[in-house]
Homo-oligomer: A and B are copies of this chain.
Amino acid sequence: VTSSRSPRATPRRLPPDAPEPEKRRAILHAAVRVFAEKGYHGCRIADVARGAGVAYGLVYHYFQNKDELLESVFAEQWTILLAALKAIQEGPGSAGEKIAGVLGFVLDVFKTAPTAVRVLILEVARTPRVLRSGSTPETFFSAIGILAEVVKAGQQAGELRDDIEPVVAATGILGALEMTVTGLVVGLVRPVGPSEDQIDLVKGQLVTMVLAGLRAPGPRAG
């Protein structure tokens, strides 16, 4: 693992104005695929280049090094996910509806882009320290933060039980979600090649369970 090399001199990110070159895109996409397929360490940049149909060296033209490439993959995926979560958080609806929204969103994305979700889910928090720290502050744990906000709001509104710390609750929720997706990915929860209906079924049960676990044991809430 050569991660801790030089202190990132020129972050070869694009100048903000220029349109993103097509091949950079291709590389990034290929990286997601290869990454999802072989994991962080099994992912050789030769594979990525081949997968993108570009020359070996071009990867290094667009990305400083392997770590920056993978970091970009993460960043991109997380940016999307976090934006969605934030939108849900700031949108209308009760805390319960928002939580259900988050669970539903992730599982819906999974239906259309299991590979990307797989990358996000299976590899996060298992990548070298260096990769996570600093340069990519957006991680699973940002997601936990957002969800914790939702929970806290729900508690203050009396909707959710308040004998559980928001962070603990959020952690549990996302854990359950992640493992469920993992289960779907590896074919545990359901036979592989996930039919959408099955996923919806699972989604419903997951939402039920999670909300029941958080709902304030109010005066006969139903």
- Chain A residues with CB under 8 Å of chain B are 1, 3-5, 9, 38-42, 50, 66-67, 122-123, 125-131, 141, 144, 161, 163-165, 167-169, 171-180, 182-183, 186, 188-189, 202, 205-206, 208-215, 217, 222
Q: List chain B residues, Cβ under 8 A from A164.
A: 205, 208-209
Q: Is the interface of A mostly helix, strand, loop or mixed?
A: helix
Least Cβ distance of A33 to chain B in Å?
A: 13
Q: List chain B residues, Cβ under 8 A from A141.
A: 186, 188
Identify which of B66, B168, B206 contacts A172 (C-beta below 8 A). B206
Contact at A168–B128, with CB atoms within 8 Å? no
State the number of copies, please: 4
Q: List chain B residues, Cβ under 8 A from A214.
A: 209, 212-213
Least Cβ distance of A81 to chain B in Å?
A: 16
A125 CA / B183 CA spacing, docked (Å): 10
Q: List chain B residues, Cβ under 8 A from A208.
A: 163-164
A12 CA / B177 CA spacing, docked (Å): 39
Q: List chain B residues, Cβ under 8 A from A188.
A: 141, 144, 167, 171
Q: List chain B residues, Cβ under 8 A from A179.
A: 171-172, 174-176, 178-179
Contact at B212–A42, with CB atoms within 8 Å? no
Q: List 12 A-B contacts (CB under 8 A).
A: A1-B66, A4-B42, A5-B42, A122-B126, A164-B208, A167-B183, A167-B188, A172-B180, A174-B179, A175-B178, A178-B178, A211-B213
